[in-house]
Structure 1
């Protein structure tokens, strides 16, 4: 769908009132929460004797706590009740909460403001399922991608503007508290007005009985998700990102004040740069992934989160010995902390901002493909329960992040050291997840190969079935054929490979990890050959994709060898379609075979050489003879070796 079509939804009643309602809700959440954290960081003594570092970790934890306790119940309410009426109820609740918060602001009553934090957490928890369930009832199937894109863009902009305005308003002297209270009340009123324009949206299941035990319902939701191992581990990876982000972002107010010697403007600058990084990374995902669910970006994002998290620690330490000393001297002279523009003039500040930007950007690379994988791989009938389960896990991880930060800071760690600890924990967690789901690593290697050494053009890759069993057949050109083919597929492939490849130091480990099926010629190992056919039949019975190279060996000239009879034996056992494919342009490279010396082959085609993978029409099993498939693959390849 074009961008014009996406944004044209903003002029239509079926979408626009819903959009502005959710935008204003996200904006108000972050305006209020950020204003409270800023005032408790920069004016703590007039409010409480508690340490600012304790409060800035406690407040996000209290905000997210309702997600843990009430997400399952909120999902049931979204299914049981008419959604426009439920939305108006939530907006009236928001207005009441902001009224309580206004009393807290004006009377300097901290516990009322803390209670309002929990209240806004409840508000967001109740609205979350409505947000995901509303769009499919009012948008056509072809409009859902565009509608969701505009909605997520609005949420991102609302969060960023709320954080920035909250930090600015509350520090305006002497009317900062009045401006903050009035701003949150006005935003709640505007959101309520917008909600009254949302069209009637029938309940999905009016007869549903809401469980009286939300914790038991939460356990059931997560139990549904655990039935799909890849989806559940992706949910854990998603939740880990929220743990990482919550741990880092919660430190920004005190970090800006005590370590960077800046005023609230420096804190706003850090938030803005981080948010821009996440937005840029999320938008770049589409280009880097070729508009498909590219799991290879997940390890790439994880590496960046660790590398730039470590460098944020190093740049913070370096700043303390350079720009930090200058800032401290300027503070003693002027008696005030540095504003954002004065702080930017110091040595070492650009490196800190670059680290914050890159953490946000690589975070986008990490989380967007994971969320897309959950949507694609989850059973459609369980998607809403899976999303509810993921929200619960996200909340648990964010609450845990607040607890970990409080404990580690209480043990004497500095905030830069906490950044370092978080980056190192990320490396350990990522290694564990990728060892459990080797597909992430395989796709990363494939993604790196086709974005560094080669420029790959996929022709009719949509002919590779997104679900169901099929056999893929392809010409055999190099040792990396499987990686190139795997990068073009929307789902994992079980490759049938010569057993000797499994003995190679690196490639063997890669293909064992990817659950490739080893095969040997009958004269070498008849038992292994027969076992390979049994394993192929089992994989196809389970609905997997299986790829074989019917030539049985690499070409040494670039020309195709005849197809052997193994493919006929496979389709005789398993009546599944066969997809012919052809690799073009790969022969002659370092990892292919040929008469030329290795160094000559390495540089003959140069860096970033072009190659293509062409996919043909599916062939029904009764026509899938070796001779016919050979002809199909040869026509797909053409004269380009």
Structure 2
């Protein structure tokens, strides 16, 4: 991953103590970019919503019926994502991203100047053309937007930065829609003021882009393929080459499918089910947007400022639970006259509807932000923008599919609450399918739950765990959940060498098989399996993975650190034979002795674990101290044990 830069205006290192996602708004490496994308999203939505209101309520256009206006405008805006995303991804990889942002903002000024003329003279054909051009503007900006962040933010800032961008985007969408509706409604001069507002926002966006720091091209030698069809196919194949990244792209696209169903049905849901007026429909949009923003911002706090994909299953569960509950919350609502906002809010039954909607969207924010961050972190830097372009293409296809499926279900006689039920159940099925295909999501979720709900887990020194490249992690062995807790501390998957007997445990054995842990049998018991285990560990290092080993050879039976065996040296020697000088990261787990998963109970003269549930209650403190990386040459088991022992003090 490209090294993040120091902030020129603060001098603070990324990820320094006390740093949080809001502090990014004070730094040049993030703030101008944030406001550039914020103003662009606001302008898109102000223009689109004002135009939709104009042709729906204020003008009678024979060749554009009011009932179709919203669909036509939405389709024209989405069309460039299908046609030009592949080309825009190439441009973002080949060119300096600041230069590309400046160009896109200049283009926006020209488009909005043309749109202002269209609003002044109510030239509908011109405004439709501008809708397509603004879609092109967003298509060009999309890959730049997400490829920019990993070049300026560290791994520890990536989740927070994405959360800020996601929050800003939905707030901008909300403000743009509200402003567009209010301005166009001004009698006689509303259309003129919309034109002025669009040009003004474009100028502000151009000003913000001027202050974005230079962001060098990641693949300047790239030869542009101008054929959108062949390049689109190539980008999709490129994304498919990394299984975790491609499944994440599919997961994000599904989230857009899910969200598009709700957003498209809000007006009819407010009118026909909730019996509210236009203000109620606007309230639903506000609640949905605020929920997404809050969920996006929560990601950093819930992830300990790492890319924590364990939040994705949590988000998927919440999305399904509250989408399904929204169906039940609307079943008993009486049929009444259309209500204004005040009357709607005075009905207690409507509180449950709004809470469901708020929590549904909050969990959607928890679901999407870690996926975006994972894609940015796991992509090759030279191909990052093209992968984002592939993501945008699939997003557009899924949103179109969402409209077609929703329309078909409505034609089949489904009610709107039944639509929410179907989508909630489908989300559960899709999420389960994705998590079975990519067990890393499920494993991280289990680790996240263990480190936050079973224990209060404190990690110190985790910046020493490398975010790329091979390394050997060495830790003391106190309990059956040591590996789960170490997983929770690492931003990357880990291959554990573990005693083969633990795989006989029904639950933990299944979990560690999903984690592709490597079973180790004693050499005296099975020499072939013993050698095969160390060869698999060496192969994992050759492939750039993290390998973890508990050198004591088993879980402590008295709470004390045992002697270290020579397995870790054997791994390092095999790596050195392959020409790899692999760093060793010492770790020390603290305060786990005496917990339910440690061998503290005595039965028939044996020390056993998992006998007394809640032995120390819930949320008891445990910790992991991570030491500085050690060079492999000269390391001995005794010397390594001393390093780990020092971390337990």
Q: How does the TM-score come out when normalised to structure 2?
A: 0.85
Q: Which moved more, 1:269-278 or 1:553-562?
A: 553-562
Asked if 1:93 is matched to 2:111, the reply is: yes
- Secondary structure in 1 matching 2:586: strand
Aligned counterpart, 1:194: 204
Q: CA offset at residue 346 of structure 1?
A: 1.6
Q: CA offset at residue 444 of structure 1?
A: 0.3
- Secondary structure in 2 matching 1:558: coil
- Secondary structure in 2 matching 1:370: helix
Does the 8 Å contact 1:447/1:487 carry over to 2? yes
Q: 1:249/1:356 Cα in 2 relative to 1: closer, same or farther (>3 Å)?
A: same
Q: Deviations over 1:433-479 (max 9, x none)?
A: 11111111111001001111111111111112222222212111111
Listed as ranges, the matches of 1:301-450 within 5 Å are: 301-319=315-333, 324-325=334-335, 328=336, 331=337, 337-450=338-451
Q: 1:195/1:622 Cα in 2 relative to 1: closer, same or farther (>3 Å)?
A: closer
Q: CA offset at residue 300 of structure 1?
A: 0.4
2-side partners of 1:6 and 1:45: how far apart?
47
Match of 1:587 among 593, 607, 610: 593
Aligned counterpart, 1:608: 619
Match of 1:60 among 57, 63, 74: 74
Match of 2:295 among 281, 295, 298: 281
Does the 8 Å contact 1:167/1:264 carry over to 2? no
Q: 1:39/1:267 Cα in 2 relative to 1: closer, same or farther (>3 Å)?
A: farther
Q: 1:471/1:421 Cα in 2 relative to 1: closer, same or farther (>3 Å)?
A: same
Match of 1:234 among 248, 254, 264: 248
Q: Which moved more, 1:583-592 or 1:613-622?
A: 613-622
Q: CA offset at residue 123 of structure 1?
A: 3.2
- Secondary structure in 2 matching 1:540: helix
Listed as ranges, the matches of 1:459-608 within 5 Å are: 459-575=460-576, 576-595=582-601, 602-608=613-619
Q: Which moved more, 1:58-67 or 1:426-435?
A: 58-67
Does the 8 Å contact 1:57/1:250 carry over to 2? no
- Secondary structure in 1 matching 2:633: helix
Q: How does the TM-score come out when normalised to structure 1?
A: 0.86
Does the 8 Å contact 2:496/2:518 carry over to 1? yes
Aligned counterpart, 1:334: none
Asked if 1:634 is matched to 2:649, the reply is: no
Q: 1:605/1:88 Cα in 2 relative to 1: closer, same or farther (>3 Å)?
A: same
Matched residues, number: 612
Structure 2: gaps of 5 or more residues: 1-11, 13-18, 577-581, 604-608
2-side partners of 1:44 and 1:354: how far apart?
37
Aligned counterpart, 1:121: 135
2-side partners of 1:578 and 1:415: how far apart?
57
- Secondary structure in 1 matching 2:348: coil
Q: 1:496/1:187 Cα in 2 relative to 1: closer, same or farther (>3 Å)?
A: same
Q: CA offset at residue 250 of structure 1?
A: 0.9
Does the 8 Å contact 1:31/1:165 carry over to 2? yes
Q: 1:42/1:504 Cα in 2 relative to 1: closer, same or farther (>3 Å)?
A: farther
Does the 8 Å contact 1:225/1:231 carry over to 2? yes
Aligned counterpart, 2:4: none
Does the 8 Å contact 1:68/1:392 carry over to 2? yes
Higher helix proportion, which one? Answer: 1
Aligned counterpart, 2:311: 297
Q: 1:225/1:142 Cα in 2 relative to 1: closer, same or farther (>3 Å)?
A: closer
Structure 1: gaps of 5 or more residues: 332-336
Q: 1:178/1:458 Cα in 2 relative to 1: closer, same or farther (>3 Å)?
A: same
- Secondary structure in 2 matching 1:87: helix
Does the 8 Å contact 1:455/1:611 carry over to 2? yes
Q: Deviations over 1:552-610 (max 9, x none)?
A: 22112111222222223222222323222111111111111123587985445332111
Q: 1:299/1:190 Cα in 2 relative to 1: closer, same or farther (>3 Å)?
A: same
1-side partners of 2:441 and 2:319: how far apart?
16
Does the 8 Å contact 1:493/1:547 carry over to 2? yes
1-side partners of 2:40 and 2:629: how far apart?
49
Q: Deviations over 1:9-35 (max 9, x none)?
A: 58x9x975x766543432232224335
Does the 8 Å contact 1:460/1:616 carry over to 2? yes
2-side partners of 1:488 and 1:561: how far apart?
23
1-side partners of 2:161 and 2:530: how far apart?
51
1-side partners of 2:153 and 2:542: how far apart?
35
Aligned counterpart, 2:282: 268
1-side partners of 2:91 and 2:524: how far apart?
65
1-side partners of 2:526 and 2:303: how far apart?
41
2-side partners of 1:142 and 1:377: how far apart?
11
Q: 1:618/1:605 Cα in 2 relative to 1: closer, same or farther (>3 Å)?
A: same
Q: 1:207/1:230 Cα in 2 relative to 1: closer, same or farther (>3 Å)?
A: closer
Q: Deviations over 1:192-216 (max 9, x none)?
A: 4335645498995999765442122
RMSD of Structure 2 on Structure 1 (CA): 3.4
Q: 1:358/1:40 Cα in 2 relative to 1: closer, same or farther (>3 Å)?
A: farther
1-side partners of 2:561 and 2:155: how far apart?
42
2-side partners of 1:524 and 1:224: how far apart?
45
Aligned counterpart, 1:622: 633
2-side partners of 1:583 and 1:276: how far apart?
39
1-side partners of 2:241 and 2:431: how far apart?
21
